[in-house]
Structure 1
Amino acid sequence: MRRLIFDAEHEEFRASVRRFFCNEIAPHAAGWRKQGYVDRRAYSRCGEQGYLLLWADEKYGGAGIADFRYEQIVYEENIRHGEPGFYINLHSGLVAPYIGKLGDEEQKRRWLPRCVSGEAILAIAMTEPGAGSDLAGMKSSAVDCGDHWLLNGSKTYISNGQIADLIIVAARTVPDQRYGIGLFVVEADMPGFKRGNRLEKMGLKAQDTSEMFFDNVRVPKSNVLGDATRGFGYLQQFLVGERLIAAIDSMAAAQTAFDITLEFVQSRRAFGRPIGTFQNSRFVLAGLRAEIDAAQTFVDQCVLEYNARRLTADEVAGAKLVASELEGRVVDACVQLHGGAGYMEEYRICRLYTEARVSRIFAGSSEIMKEIIGRGLGLDERKLK
């Protein structure tokens, strides 16, 4: 189905981005999956092409493109033709905006040019062993010591954890206030900061995920983003963009799974004819085609609303819920249509299957998304008591 939100300029940009990912990223993907992390060169090559932090102002080295559709194209093409474990979406769309929107001029000049070029790789550390979706329950703490903050605690499941140079760390700054949290930029060479082992995951083998430990890390006051007591509100504010990116990625993965399965059933034969000619195959793929088109239209509309700064928390929760749940159904059905081949890692559908499972968990689980949508309907127990 033709996607109506893109103009000719967007499609020209997509063609260029696709060539880059096909030629520069995809050939290295197998090696990255084997070693468990993406080479730093991937980020610098993207930086050279101008594909990182497209939104960043020209004075920081960016392209100054306010139209989020261009970022959407980069993320989609990386999923479809690059390597899903190459987390440029996290770097450009999830973490860097904290610096771009909360940072003062000195901080932006110090960090953004290195992020735009790919010299500095970004991560964000929110999740803790005992506090996942409940960010207000985090135990990591930062104590004001006059000219610096003293940071202690641990984080887990941190994407880009092994290769990140700058890590935005959320920590409690007001002990007796549930939402008294600050955001601190920890630089990789700061004494007291230590990375744990790379965590073994079900999928996304090229994406390094780690534990992090902070033992009396002295964080200069100049490394605090915004108000050191309002971090919880900042985290909530940026979740809209994070969940939209998650929805975009899920739709790109679902479309990819559909495409490779359609090609497979046209060539694979059983009982003397292509398996795509069996009614079951046609009906399964027909149903998936309709669902993908419907969900993609919804997500694309959310992108336009995000561009217009009108996208709400409950609307993006709906997009993230629909897209991630659909991704799970699509990859499952497509593995089935591949038969035994679908269980073999040499076939991409096998990797798409294992990669998809986390989509219903990160950026807020499906259950959390339903809770947000329900509250948006006025079904909040605090209001109905």
Structure 2
Amino acid sequence: MKEKVSILNVVKFGGAYAAFVIGSGFATGQEILQFFTCHGIFSIGSILISLAIFAIFASVVMGTGYVNRDNKDFKPYQYFCGKYLGKAYDVVTPICLFLMFVVMISGAGATLNEYYGLNVHIGSIIMVALVLIAFLCGLEKLVDIVGLIGPVILVFAIVVGIITLTKSVGNISEMSKQISSLNIIKSSNNWIISGILYGSYNIALGAVFVASIAKDANSKKEAMLGGAFGGIALMLSALVMNLALLSKATEIYELAIPTLYFAKSISNVLGVVFSIILFCGIFSTAAPGFWTIMDSVSNNILKGNKLKTNICAVATGVLSLAGGVLPFQELISIVYPYTGYLGIVLFVCVVFKLIKSKKNKDDKQKLNKVV
């Protein structure tokens, strides 16, 4: 029987996954600058490495989430990593997610400050309020919201990147030679490691949310296609933005939000629109990340008590504001690369589980033929 696949759902699930990854680092261009652009022309190789990691991980985890959609006790980390390592991830992941959430809050403050000159606390407070509202609305509405935001941000980023490239594509070769002399914060001095770390840190914290996305899919195939689409679309967007950043490297390498600089350079109206899109991009990662934190706390500590979970959510949001005043660029350079090492272990576990499952399936098919 042919598995039912809705293109609209594939785009929605892929968009929700991409939106989870985008966040303040990607949308502002700061992540792309620190992980890819800093390596010059070799950044293209880094992006292809990350693309493979994203597509494989999201496809496998979404497919697994669909298969286990009716299992309320399904724990993605324990399923892929085993009981003991999985439990370790269940404990460490909420902590890392909170640190990532702090980066999102800092990025929200930096965005409104850099474009509108508002106090950094204003953007941070607005973002925390929006995330709390989204959390109280529940996961289903959250997936619908970020699933819509994701594709919009990707399309907008690609358009801004392409327009910038049409004006400065001839600079890429020269900028590639000069890039090593610029004082850019790097996630790693090696382009291969940067590609692995970028893909890995983004998947390290998303297994629970990514698996949850697929529960509303019509089939396993639809869920897996959604994951693959999200990973590929995300990194193609990153490739365009990376080339744009590389073409303007000497102008943007010290900016907190280089993508906003591109939009403003094209037109003031586009700058205003992009600042709003940027803010939505930050929300699209902050909200799912926050949901994952509170889901873990609720299930493992508060035993599903809704009132206590909501009180804890408000307290966590307020606490994040304290960390959100820290410098945006420095937060990315510290939090993200170290989280990447957690992701490398997780990715190895996912691939191993995939190979093992395929082997068991092949063995079963051979046995059935013999019988």
Whether these two folds match at TM > 0.5 is: no
TM-score (normalised: structure 2): 0.25
Structure 1 or 2: more helix by fraction = 2
Q: TM-score, normalised by structure 1?
A: 0.25
Higher relative contact order (Cα pairs below 8 Å, separated by 6+ residues): 2
